[in-house]
């Protein structure tokens, strides 16, 4: 990287590279204690939640939080510098974790306290804070880390994630089994709060030097600009098509948690085991991508992701009694990591420096199916059972193969 950069550009890029990795490292430690695929859905079910509640939770955390970027993107695109908005978003997430920990720690069963409503309140704050921060994060990252260093950054980020997550996942599992519900989950969120606070210090040190030039007057103009970009940039519509089909795959594991608890009565110790399995899958694929980063293309990652997403429900539906959830969560971790690496890279590839915040908003606004599917899925499970849900999931994911082909990633 150094031979391609000189002076201030190199210094800023190198400094921000380190700052973003600092955040990634402590976020990696925190994420096991607030995992949206295992810990949060298991906590919700323990509090009395059912399939509909899990569907609403997944919609808020995965699809809905991204869809709300259509509201945030026009405002944030008009801001020449976005660091303070990045900090506002991350601090909202920090406070929401503290709030979740406090209500669970002091909650007494049978007290009449509306625990589910309060859980949804803090989950919503957590999700909206992430949506608000993500636009600024993508914009600053794209402007401050040079193209020659991006793939190295994403791969390094995944390796750091994997290494630290492997260490913290054992601690998270121990916390889950150390106390009965709800105190065990309260401790989980307290630890997540502390780690995420330390992670935010990396954002405080970011040097944002290149102002954004794009200006959008409101949501209506944002939609008009989106329509214009769809006409002038054909790859954008295929990118959005892929998000709307393959995007539902990263929200699949909460329903596996529900399936395991409803059908086989799994407990907190099992949740810790599922979390470890997911982490192992994520770490394994991250190491492979990092090792072969000069040869791996995003296109191959996208195709592989589709195939693996289809394998998960097939493993669950195999005849012969209780399925082995270990490979399902292993593959779920692989799918999540590959999706994160590939989609961040593809977004940077199809956008430019001036419109990157807008494109992050487009990606969020395009999350229509991932926002609705968990709610529909939760209702389908309550009415018709898990088999109908699994089949619908596979049908939607299959469509994503067409969009991967049309995106035609070059890197």
Question: Is residue 377, in this structure, part of any structural domain at all?
Answer: yes
357 in Cβ contact with 139 (< 8 Å): yes
Q: What pLDDT is attached to residue 61?
A: 84
pTM to 2 decimal places: 0.79
Question: Is residue 293, in this structure, part of any structural domain at all?
Answer: yes
207 in Cβ contact with 365 (< 8 Å): no
Question: Is residue 4, in this structure, part of any structural domain at all?
Answer: no
Question: Is residue 70, in this structure, part of any structural domain at all?
Answer: yes
Q: What pLDDT is attached to residue 385?
A: 92
> Residue 290 belongs to a domain with what CATH number?
1.20.1250.20
With tokens 């290149």, the residue in question is: 210
Q: What pLDDT is attached to residue 75?
A: 72
- What string of DSSP letters covers 122-149? HHHHHHHHHHHHHHHHHHHHHHHS-HHH
Structural domain count of the chain: 1
Q: What pLDDT is attached to residue 3?
A: 47
Other C-beta atoms within 10 Å of 299: how many?
Answer: 17
Can you give the pLDDT of all 411 residues of the chain as single tens digits?
444 445 566 677 777 878 888 888 999 899 889 988 889 999 999 888 889 999 999 888 876 666 666 677 667 766 677 788 889 989 999 999 999 999 998 886 656 568 888 999 999 999 888 878 877 887 787 777 666 666 677 667 767 777 788 889 889 999 998 888 889 999 999 999 999 999 999 888 887 766 666 666 666 776 777 788 878 887 888 888 888 898 889 889 999 999 998 888 888 788 888 999 998 998 888 788 877 777 777 788 889 999 999 999 999 998 877 888 889 999 999 998 888 888 777 877 777 666 666 776 677 666 788 888 899 999 999 999 999 999 999 999 999 999 888 887 666
Q: Is 207 helix (H, G, I), strand (E, B) or coil?
A: coil
Q: What residues contact residue 320 under an 8 Å CB cut-off, 6+ apart?
A: none
Other C-beta atoms within 10 Å of 125: how many?
Answer: 17
Domain residues for the domain of 222 are: 10-407
Q: What pLDDT is attached to residue 198?
A: 95
Q: What pLDDT is attached to residue 1?
A: 44
Q: What pLDDT is attached to residue 91?
A: 94
With tokens 């982490």, the residue in question is: 279
Question: Is residue 2, in this structure, part of any structural domain at all?
Answer: no
């Amino acid at each position: 990287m150094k031979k391609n950069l000189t002076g201030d550009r190199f210094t800023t890029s190198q400094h921000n590279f380190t700052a973003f990795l600092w955040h990634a490292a402590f976020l990696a430690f925190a994420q096991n204690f607030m995992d949206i695929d295992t810990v949060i859905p298991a906590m919700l079910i323990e509090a009395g939640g059912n399939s509909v509640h899990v569907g609403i939770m997944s919609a808020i955390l995965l699809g809905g939080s991204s869809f709300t970027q259509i509201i945030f993107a026009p405002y944030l695109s008009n801001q020449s510098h976005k660091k303070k908005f990045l900090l506002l978003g991350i601090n909202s997430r920090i406070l929401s974790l503290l709030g979740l920990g406090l209500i669970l720690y002091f909650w007494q069963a049978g007290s009449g306290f509306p625990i589910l409503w309060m859980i949804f309140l803090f989950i919503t704050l957590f999700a909206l804070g992430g949506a608000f921060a993500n636009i600024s994060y993508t914009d600053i990252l794209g402007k401050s880390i040079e193209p020659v260093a991006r793939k190295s950054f994403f791969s390094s980020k995944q390796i750091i994630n994997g290494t630290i997550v492997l260490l913290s996942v054992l601690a998270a599992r121990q916390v889950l089994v150390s106390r009965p519900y709800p105190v065990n989950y309260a401790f989980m969120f307290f630890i997540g709060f502390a780690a995420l606070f330390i992670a935010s210090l990396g954002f405080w040190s970011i040097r944002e030097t290149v102002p954004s030039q794009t200006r959008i007057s409101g949501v209506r103009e944002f939609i008009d600009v989106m329509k214009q970009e769809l006409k002038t940039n054909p790859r954008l519509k295929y990118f959005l098509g892929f998000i709307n089909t393959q995007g539902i795959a990263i929200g699949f594991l909460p329903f596996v948690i529900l399936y395991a608890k409803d059908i086989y009565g799994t407990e907190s110790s099992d949740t810790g085991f599922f979390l470890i399995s997911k982490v192992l899958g994520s770490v394994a694929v991250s190491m492979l991508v990092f090792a072969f980063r000069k040869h791996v293309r995003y296109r191959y990652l996208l195709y592989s992701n589709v195939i693996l997403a289809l394998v998960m429900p097939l493993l669950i539906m195999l005849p012969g009694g209780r399925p082995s959830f270990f490979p399902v969560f292993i593959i779920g971790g692989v799918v999540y990591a590959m999706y994160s690496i590939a989609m961040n890279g593809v977004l940077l590839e199809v956008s430019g420096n001036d419109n990157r915040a807008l494109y992050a908003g487009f990606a969020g606004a395009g999350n229509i199916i991932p926002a609705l599917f968990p709610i529909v899925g939760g209702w389908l499970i309550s009415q018709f059972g898990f088999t109908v849900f699994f089949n619908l999931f596979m049908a939607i994911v299959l469509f994503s193969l067409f969009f991967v082909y049309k995106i035609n990633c070059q890197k």
